[in-house]
């Protein structure tokens, strides 16, 4: 069993560069390539590696500590590929831009502004700086803001580069007090099924299904539709100045709800014995959605992946590992007999046409997600699921305490002998 490791994350951002100094960053990445190639040339010539950083720095127009980081990376790459011209293999030197590698506080700095944005300053060349603001996913921005304000975090090396012509900054952050346990030490597997208006959770152990809960969040779907309707009206009225304001309000509302939902999920998981949280890999899901214009708009705008990411990084802070599995057939398979059929599901009701079992459709999917990980990643068997715990539904209040969800059904554990659950259409 592997030991826990410090929590390390690499955060990716696009650079919104102020003024006309994007060309400066472009020139610096080409200068970085010169430093990289010179490092390889000197190393192959047999120059003492302790002398290479200073010799390279004398020949390029870069900040010295940035040059040192580029040299270190070039030597590591050379050792990894074992490329030497004298045995007929291609040279390791290349042309084109190369990432500008720098230490935090020396080659680049970050700061949070009063408006909540994160500003950057990159020392592209001596006494010449590229400045602007970071743009990226809410998850990565949230982690970075936490790292900037929390002494438990350290911000490390970053790389500035161009990806498909877009300037980016990749930042490494570390939290030495937070650790992520290896998934093989897990005693409970939590299947998570994220849907349009709820997230279904099922905990599976060697004893079978221990507990299951469904957290409703219909307000996200409702508010997104409300804001969509308002934007359509202001477009018809020609009041475009209000469009961005409404979009910003919607994004802040959804982000707030996702944080609260993800906290509830992780809090529930922490009560289990050595849990491991399992998600469906939904990266390709938008490409598979085609249910007509209205339904496509609803589903494409739902934050499935964002909610999974929030849950994943919050779980990491609680020393809970997360796993991503292939989502194939998790909604169509009967968790009891394994029968697969597209017509098994009718809204929130799942009825197996093979064994006759009925269940809440989202709970059934969460059981299948957990069982997939048990079969693929764990070394223990689960007994036959002849009965399942009663589904408990939790609905977060629109406002109030973050960690005190209200309930629509009793939270006490209960079992049904036939494994079925009543579901209202």
Q: Is the pLDDT of residue 339 over 60?
A: yes
Query: What is the domain partition of the chain in residue ranges?
Result: 5-179, 181-407
Q: Render pLDDT for 310-328 as a digit per residue (tens, 0 to 9).
A: 898 788 878 899 999 998 8
Q: How many residues does the chain have?
A: 425
Q: If you search the block for the tokens 């209040």, which residue do you land on?
A: 397
**What is the model's pTM?**
0.58
Distance from C-alpha of 165 to C-alpha of 26, rounded to nearest angstrom: 10
Distance from C-alpha of 391 to C-alpha of 416, rounded to nearest angstrom: 10
Question: How many CB atoms are located within 10 Å of the residue 63 CB?
Answer: 24
Distance from C-alpha of 374 to C-alpha of 313, rounded to nearest angstrom: 22
At CA 14, angle to CA 13 and CA 16, rounded to 5?
130
DSSP of 289-344: --S-HHHHHHHHTS-HHHHHHHHHHHHHHTT--EEEE--TTTTTB-TTT--B-GGG
Distance from C-alpha of 297 to C-alpha of 377, rounded to nearest angstrom: 36
Q: What is the mean pLDDT of residues 2-7?
A: 52
DSSP category for residue 150: -
Looking at the chain, the whole-number percentage of residues with pLDDT higher than 90 is 37
Distance from C-alpha of 110 to C-alpha of 350, rounded to nearest angstrom: 50
Distance from C-alpha of 144 to C-alpha of 134, rounded to nearest angstrom: 10
Distance from C-alpha of 239 to C-alpha of 232, rounded to nearest angstrom: 10
Q: What is the pLDDT of residue 293?
A: 53
Q: Render pLDDT for 346-403 as a digit per residue (tens, 0 to 9).
A: 788 898 988 888 889 999 999 999 999 998 877 777 777 776 777 777 765 543 333 3
Q: Render pLDDT for 183-204 as a digit per residue (tens, 0 to 9).
A: 888 899 999 999 888 999 999 9
């Amino acid at each position: 069993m592997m030991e826990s490791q410090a929590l390390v994350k690499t955060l990716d951002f696009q650079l919104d560069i102020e003024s006309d100094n994007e060309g400066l960053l472009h020139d610096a990445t080409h200068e970085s390539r010169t430093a990289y190639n010179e490092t390889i040339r000197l190393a192959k010539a047999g120059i003492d590696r302790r002398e290479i950083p200073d010799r390279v720095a004398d020949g390029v127009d870069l900040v010295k500590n940035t040059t040192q980081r580029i040299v270190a990376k070039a030597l590591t790459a050379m050792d990894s590929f074992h490329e030497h011209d004298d045995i007929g293999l291609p040279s390791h030197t290349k042309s084109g831009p190369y990432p500008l590698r720098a230490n935090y506080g020396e080659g680049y700095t970050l700061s949070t502004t009063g408006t909540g944005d994160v500003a950057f300053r990159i020392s592209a060349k001596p006494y010449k700086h590229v400045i602007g603001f970071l743009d990226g996913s809410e998850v990565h921005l949230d982690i970075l803001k936490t790292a900037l304000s929390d002494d438990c975090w350290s911000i490390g090396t970053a790389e500035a580069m161009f990806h498909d012509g877009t300037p980016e900054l990749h930042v490494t952050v570390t939290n030495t007090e937070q650790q992520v346990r290896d998934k093989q030490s897990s005693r409970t597997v939590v299947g998570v099924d994220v849907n349009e208006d709820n997230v279904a959770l099922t905990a599976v152990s060697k004893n079978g299904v221990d507990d299951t809960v469904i957290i409703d969040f219909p307000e996200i779907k409702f508010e997104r539709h409300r804001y969509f309707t308002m934007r359509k009206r202001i477009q018809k009225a020609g009041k475009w100045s209000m469009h961005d304001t409404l979009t910003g309000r919607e994004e802040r509302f959804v982000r707030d709800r996702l944080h609260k939902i993800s906290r509830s999920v992780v809090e529930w998981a922490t009560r289990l014995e050595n849990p491991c949280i399992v998600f469906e890999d939904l990266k390709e899901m938008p490409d598979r959605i085609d249910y007509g214009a209205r339904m496509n708009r609803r589903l494409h705008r739902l934050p499935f992946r964002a909610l999974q990411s929030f849950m994943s990084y919050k779980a990491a802070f609680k020393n809970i590992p997360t796993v991503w599995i292939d989502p194939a057939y998790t909604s169509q398979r009967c968790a009891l007999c394994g029968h697969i059929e597209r017509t098994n599901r009718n809204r929130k009701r799942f009825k197996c046409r093979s064994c006759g079992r009925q269940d809440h459709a989202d709970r059934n999917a969460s059981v299948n997600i957990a069982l997939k990980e048990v079969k693929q990643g764990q070394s223990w068997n689960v007994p036959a699921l002849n009965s399942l715990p009663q589904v408990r539904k939790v609905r977060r209040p629109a406002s109030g305490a973050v960690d005190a969800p209200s309930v629509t059904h009793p939270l006490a554990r209960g079992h049904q002998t036939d494994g079925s659950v009543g579901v209202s259409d």
